[in-house]
């Protein structure tokens, strides 16, 4: 079974500041990990994914995340926040165990606000 | 860019009524999913669908729920007799093929049950 914990339901940063959104997972098998973003009135958009290749994953819009197995973490970072980054961010895990099913387990989400 | 589209964007219904939420997945995708998010809670898996049959469903997906792909393009979620606790945002998603690792989500349909 898999689970995801996102620490902090709401993170507020100033424009230009570092963005750090935390995600910890548990999985009984090697995981695939994802970050999705949801802008207001839009669907879930994939930001980046970890699929057992490089542990530092670069995504769209300048975001990146590092898979740390020892810490069971997959925190999302961006060096400099932009106003357009304001959105809700979801971390998700899927078991890397083959098969045709694709059940993602999501965290509760973190709402990012960016202050001018 | 191809996208998953969902209708309606928002539906308000009375408890006990039937609701059908519609999704048009990306045209060459083969795997289809419904997820839901109750306000303030996690996005939860409901059901996956492949080759015209359910491949996996969660414990949430009880006899009140059904899915079908009636015409080869639409993918629908039906709730036969809605309950207050069915109020949520329902997301449709699709995936290209086995091993394809990205789910493409629609914008969601917000269901409000009064």
At B42-98, the pLDDT tens digits run 899 999 998 899 989 999 999 999 999 988 789 999 999 999 999 999 999 998 876
CA pair distance A110, B50, nearest whole angstrom: 31
Chain B contact residues (CB < 8 Å to A): 3-4, 6, 31, 33, 35, 40-45, 48, 50, 55-56, 58, 91, 93, 95, 98, 101-108
Tokens of B35: 């997820």
With CA atoms as reference, report the closest residue to B25 among B89, B73, B66, B90: B73
| pLDDT score for B34 | 96
Contacts of A47 in chain B (CB under 8 A): none
**Cβ atoms A85, A61 nearer than 8 A:** yes
Predicted confidence (pLDDT) at residue A98 exceeds the cutoff of 60: no
Three-class SS of residue A80? coil
A58 - beta bridge partners?
A64
Give the gap in angstroms from C-alpha B113 to the nearest C-alpha of chain A: 20
Q: Which residues 42-71 of A have a C-beta within 8 angstroms of B?
A: 42-46, 49, 51
């Amino acid at each position: 079974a898999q689970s995801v914990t996102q620490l902090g339901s709401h993170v507020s940063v100033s424009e230009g500041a570092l963005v750090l959104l935390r995600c910890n997972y548990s999985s009984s098998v090697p995981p695939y990990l994802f970050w999705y973003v949801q802008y207001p009135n839009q669907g879930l958009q994939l930001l980046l994914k970890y699929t057992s290749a490089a542990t530092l994953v670069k995504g769209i819009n300048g975001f990146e995340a590092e898979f740390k197995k020892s810490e069971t973490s997959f925190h999302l970072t961006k060096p400099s926040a932009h106003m357009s980054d304001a959105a809700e961010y979801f971390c998700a895990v899927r078991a890397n165990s083959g098969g045709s099913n694709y059940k993602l387990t999501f965290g509760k989400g973190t709402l990012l606000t960016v202050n001018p | 860019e191809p996208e998953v589209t969902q209708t309606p964007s928002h539906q308000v219904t009375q408890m006990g009524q039937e609701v059908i939420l519609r999704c048009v997945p990306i045209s060459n995708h083969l795997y289809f999913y419904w997820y839901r998010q109750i306000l303030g809670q996690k996005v939860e898996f409901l059901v996956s669908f492949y080759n015209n049959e359910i491949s996996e469903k969660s414990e949430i997906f009880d006899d009140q729920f059904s899915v079908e792909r009636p015409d080869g393009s639409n993918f629908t979620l039906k709730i036969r007799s809605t309950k207050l606790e069915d109020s949520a945002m329902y997301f449709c998603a699709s995936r290209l093929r086995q091993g394809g690792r990205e789910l493409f989500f629609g914008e969601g349909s917000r269901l409000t049950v009064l």
